[in-house]
Amino acid sequence: MNHPQLSVQPNAERAYELHRPQFLSQLLAPMDDMWAAFADLGAPFSLFVGEVLAGSCSVDGEGQLLQFFVLPQFSNESLALLELTAAECGVTHMMVSTADPSYLCPALDLAADVESHTLLFAQVATIRAEPIERLVLAELADLERVIEFQVEATGMPADFLQVYTRTRIELRELWLVRTKSQIIGVGELRIDQQQAGIAHLGVIVGAPDRRKGMGAAILCSLVEQCRELGVVPYCSTEGTNIGARRAIERAGFYAQHRLLRIEPRLSKAAQ
């Protein structure tokens, strides 16, 4: 489809940051902070209608369109701008939250295939687990042991975890369950720096201690801390992680939204 008045331009950090407040304000629920961080690390682009800045987006190195925002006054051009972005930026997939209708609607119009990738949970009052009493705040002296535990439990790369885990410890956002000799569980309570009053929770339980209720108990303890801090807890997990889903639900959360992985109709032609 030819829209000569529309254009997509790279090197658009300023536009991406400029639109952030409006982007966040139109969401139906908070943005998942991990996916927001991935979007911030992607390549930013500006979207133009004629010579007017109409929106911005972010594409990662794998060709995933992680964020796409068009100003409300240019909503009629959203689909055409999305199609142009997909073609010019080599988009293979669009990662779209159901809490982001301004991106979701044109993405569905352009969809060749839709997959539910991640469940986005909000906290409710029905809790079926008790908080764990052995949760202690991690210190920098625990860093290497925590990284070893995370690598063994999740398979995540150690080089990424070095920076990520140190940051969580320094911000006092990482909590541990441990015996005298080893760490057996980790919990995260990340205060959102972009969305006021929001916290994002995460939990990892070592393989020998799974299916014993520890994940739900850790989350319940973190929920109690959120109440003391006056922040609202959210969390997420991939839809295929059945164990994590059960733990999150036992801690009083429900899957409020989804992160969809959408293949655009023109993705093969655009590559």
Quick one: tokens of 78? 């959203």
pLDDT at 3: 52
Within 10 A of 16 (CB to CB), how many other CB atoms are there?
22
Q: For 127-251, CATH number?
A: 3.40.630.30
pLDDT at 202: 97
pLDDT at 11: 83
pLDDT at 2: 52
Phi, psi of 219 (to 5 degrees): -60, -40
The position carrying tokens 């005298």 is: 180
Q: Cα torsion for 16, 22, 26, 30, to the nearest 10°?
A: 60
The domain segmentation of the chain, as residue ranges, is 6-117+259-270, 127-251
Class level of CATH domain 6-117+259-270: alpha beta
Q: Per residue in 23-32, is it b (16+ CB within 10 Å) or e — as a string?
A: bbeebebbbb
Q: What are the E-state strand segments in 71-197?
A: 93-97, 111-123, 136-137, 174-178, 183-191
pLDDT tens over the chain, length 271 residues: 455 599 999 988 899 999 999 999 999 999 999 999 999 999 999 999 999 999 999 999 999 999 999 999 999 999 999 999 999 999 999 999 999 999 999 999 999 999 999 999 999 877 888 888 889 999 999 999 999 999 999 999 999 999 999 999 999 999 999 988 899 999 999 999 999 999 999 999 999 999 999 999 999 999 999 999 999 999 999 999 999 999 999 999 999 999 999 999 974 434 4
pLDDT at 38: 94
pLDDT at 259: 98
pLDDT at 4: 58
6-117+259-270 shares its CATH topology with 127-251: yes
* pTM flag (> 0.75): yes
| Terminal Cα distance for the chain, rounded | 17
